Amino acid sequence: MASAFCFASVSAHATTTTLLDENFDDATNTTIQSLLSSNPASLPTGTTWSSTTNANSVNLRLGTDTINTYNSGNPLQRFAISSGTNFFLSATTANKFLVMGDDSGQLAGSPTAGTFGFATPFALAVGTTDITVSFDWVFSALLLGSGGDTDQFSVGVTGNGFNINTPLVSNNAVLNQSIAVSGKAYGPTSLNIAVASLGQADANGQYWLSFGYLENTSSQTNGAVGIDNIKITANVAPVPVPGAVWLLGSGLVGLVGLQRRKQIA
């Protein structure tokens, strides 16, 4: 009887499974839209993006790109936090990361306004009780002229009702970061979300992890967001062992015991 109990207990342990894992390293250094048309398998199936202005402002960069380094003359023009460093490591051509809000080089050129989005779908495993969303990020913005405005970076999870054209709107906020005039903010971020709060999945049974960036239309502040190492893991509850299995295990143990008594007799 003890043997049957131990076997059933082990099979019922909770597990952790990975639902989404994207570091962009298998992609090419290009815009998202051309990547999805030429090599869609390099990103999770269903990945989508949006831009109200320059489509090139949702793009991939190499770890050696200028924006990943430090500018001692104006630190807000690049992502690195301190001199001689790179924000996204490793600083090699093999490492890639996502940029929203800037089309090339450091933060000094176009665009200066617009709303940009990037989103990847995922499906819950059966028995999921909660998920953990994590990613590396940096948000840098600098004042171009007088006055200034507020730019915003938002990350969230949405099921039914998801719309890539409104990427700053979500059912479950993971991150909501604003920068007024000039500044720099960065992660990594990790947040646990209970499945009960996710709401309904979309028509395909999926949820969306969306990244949205707003450069204010006044165009006084120029900024960009960098993202890498996106991951979602799920805690999956143990599957209850049906009563029939317990009865079967008990019966087998009983039969073995009976057979042994017969042999001894």
3-state SS track over 63-111: CCCHHHCCCCCCHHHCCCCCCCCCCCCCCCCCCEEEEECCCCCCCCCCC
Query: Model's pTM, two decimal places?
Result: 0.86
- Please give the pLDDT value at position 241: 61
CB atoms within 10 A of CB 175: 17
The identity of residue 3, as a single letter, is S
CB atoms within 10 A of CB 212: 24
Confidence of residue 7 (pLDDT cuts 50, 70, 90): very low
- Please give the pLDDT value at position 6: 44
Please give the Cα distance from 100 to 57 (Å, whole number): 5
Domains assigned to the chain: 15-240 (2.60.120.200)
Lowest mean pLDDT among 1-15, 183-197, 198-212: 1-15
- Please give the pLDDT value at position 253: 47
**Tokens 């960009």 — which residue?**
224
Q: Is pLDDT of 254 > 60?
A: no
Q: Is pLDDT of 10 > 70?
A: no
Give residue-wise pLDDT tens across range 162-175.
999 999 999 999 99
| H or E stretch at 38 | helix 32-38
The answer, yes or no, to whether the previous bond of 188 is cis (omega within 30 of 0) is: yes
Please give the Cα distance from 79 to 61 (Å, whole number): 12
Note the Cα 136 to chain centre separation in Å: 9
Give residue-wise pLDDT tens across range 128-156.
999 999 999 999 998 877 766 899 999 99
Q: Is pLDDT of 189 > 60?
A: yes
Give residue-wise pLDDT tens across range 220-251.
788 999 999 999 999 999 876 665 544 445 55
Cβ–Cβ < 8 Å for 210, 158: yes
175: β partners: 155
Packing angle between helix 2-11 and helix 243-264, nearest 10 degrees? 150
Q: Is pLDDT of 264 > 90?
A: no
Alpha-carbon distances of 168 from 36, 79, 104, 164, rounded to whole Å? 22, 22, 23, 9
Give residue-wise pLDDT tens across range 85-141.
999 999 999 999 999 999 888 987 777 789 999 999 999 999 999 999 999 999 999
The overall average pLDDT reported for the chain is 87
Token code pair at residue 67: 């924006």
